[in-house]
Chains A and B, each alone.
Chain A
């Protein structure tokens, strides 16, 4: 393969890559320690609509990972970043558990709409309110556009259907800030002083993690854990840089071939 620029950063997905629910992927902690000894920056990137950084951090600590808050970059972080950058006052259609990540953001007299996953707020009145704001020119920002997700009691609608509905109602396009958007990966790398060509992403979602990263100029490694299903590696173009059984093998590959 063509030699690229020296690797400066590794982006790592959380759920499905480092852990599956409350179980750590075997060897993941040790592999992370090995990676941290190498001369690369590490960042943990995830699409979340419900969990604030603090909640993610608490779970990772409980599972035994040692991670700093500043090393975590989520779709909620990205949404907040965009809101701050553009000086917006958002109507937040977010679960209460996600509001922590928006502390200090002015939300009175809203002139923007941020849609995450908020079953309690996705009702007729609230969606009408969001609709009227967008129709009056407020930008629509989507934390991500997942169709549905798995809940203990079965499948449940994700934010995507509601974002799509609001887009249709107002004839506008949402700005999507989560994976697989290019801006997500670029924002995650911004404070690392690292160009996309100097970074690699490890994740279990072929489209959102690997496809998104590779379309943004990063390399992508697909791991066969979490939501991976046989054949996923063939579903994206370009194909994953490499497909590994799990996170530890991905780390070994990086240490052996890219550093």
Chain B
């Protein structure tokens, strides 16, 4: 029952195009798991958010198994340190070195290419850019700035870009929306698209679904894409991004999941599970643990 209309079919194709009912066949070959955070571990919202039931325990169980575990987030509303501290307060067994987030990755690129950014980012992530030269900007970095996405601030970024001979725009992720406790909210991708259209430029995406981003987590674990499973709530960026890189991708029915995701025209997850706890149950059961 192959449902994908157009999808990655590279090495390990037989496994990648497996039907939902037998994604479990591949579990035995797994060496590592990559988890998205918001919408998988917790739901964001007022007061920092709340853990999704069973997820604290699920992380503990993966760590107690023979699988490696890393976290890949497009979270850019806080520094990595503060973000990890928040999850620790929720009870998660997690450390900064296990978390891959776009801001530190962007800082590395800016330094390597001698770029001076105009930042359209959330105030709470600004400290990540403390060491970056920002006067006389020659590129724009856009991240999920939430309330700071005003017409005025977007226009300021636009004016920096339009006066550059060759506009350079970095987008920290390209998500469409995410779920907060009071509803769905527009994500950075929407504002990236607005600036792309205004300036006729294509943004360089740092974070999921960029292959480089998955690569950095896998390199850290020392494993190959076909040995890794991504679990996320964002069908296109988590699941599709991982699949394009040669990993397998599971979608959880938590966070921003919508039933229509399961009949998406271009991305079909290798499997769908109700939540992280169920995913971990199935994985550990099939590994005999």
- Across-interface contacts of A164 in B (CB, < 8 A): 193-194, 196-197
CA distance A198 to B179 in the complex (A): 53
- Asked if A124 contacts B149 (CB within 8 A), the reply is yes
Q: A120, A122, A123, A169: which has the most chain B beta carbons within 10 Å? A: A169
- Asked if A131 contacts B177 (CB within 8 A), the reply is yes
B265 to chain A, nearest CB (A): 9
Interface membership of B67, Cβ < 8 A: no
**Which among B151, B158, B176 is the interface contact of A155 at CB below 8 angstroms?**
B158
B166 to chain A, nearest CB (A): 17
- Across-interface contacts of A156 in B (CB, < 8 A): 155, 158
Given A127-B186, A148-B158, A148-B198, also A168-B150 (CB < 8 A): no
- Asked if A154 contacts B159 (CB within 8 A), the reply is yes
- Across-interface contacts of A94 in B (CB, < 8 A): none
Given A123-B151, A132-B184, A148-B198, also A169-B158 (CB < 8 A): no
- Across-interface contacts of B176 in A (CB, < 8 A): 168-171
- Across-interface contacts of B35 in A (CB, < 8 A): none
Nearest B residue (CB) for A129: B183
- Asked if B146 contacts A131 (CB within 8 A), the reply is no
CA distance A169 to B144 in the complex (A): 14
Q: Encode A11-28 as 1/0 by CB contact (under 8 A) with B.
A: 000000000000000000
- Asked if A157 contacts B158 (CB within 8 A), the reply is yes
- Across-interface contacts of B186 in A (CB, < 8 A): 124, 127-128, 131, 165, 169
CA distance A120 to B155 in the complex (A): 12
CA distance A154 to B159 in the complex (A): 8
Given A119-B151, A131-B184, also A166-B190 (CB < 8 A): yes
Interface membership of B195, Cβ < 8 A: yes
B234 to chain A, nearest CB (A): 13
**Which among A122, A124, A161, A170 is the interface contact of B198 at CB below 8 angstroms?**
A161
Interface of A is mostly: helix
Interface membership of A160, Cβ < 8 A: yes
- Asked if A122 contacts B162 (CB within 8 A), the reply is no
Nearest A residue (CB) for B148: A124
Interface membership of A253, Cβ < 8 A: no
Which A residues between 185 and 203 are near B, CB-CB below 8 angstroms?
none
B103 to chain A, nearest CB (A): 20
Interface membership of A135, Cβ < 8 A: yes
Given A123-B150, A157-B151, A157-B154, also A162-B194 (CB < 8 A): yes
CA distance A131 to B193 in the complex (A): 14
- Across-interface contacts of B286 in A (CB, < 8 A): none
CA distance A167 to B176 in the complex (A): 10
A242 to chain B, nearest CB (A): 30
Q: List, sorted by A's number, 8 A–B pairs whose CB atoms are closer than 8 Å.
A: A122-B151, A124-B147, A164-B194, A165-B194, A165-B197, A167-B193, A169-B186, A169-B189
Interface residues of A (CB under 8 A from B): 119-120, 122-124, 127-128, 131-132, 135, 147-148, 154-158, 160-162, 164-171
5 tightest CB-CB pairs across the interface, nearest first?
A161-B194, A165-B190, A165-B194, A164-B197, A122-B151
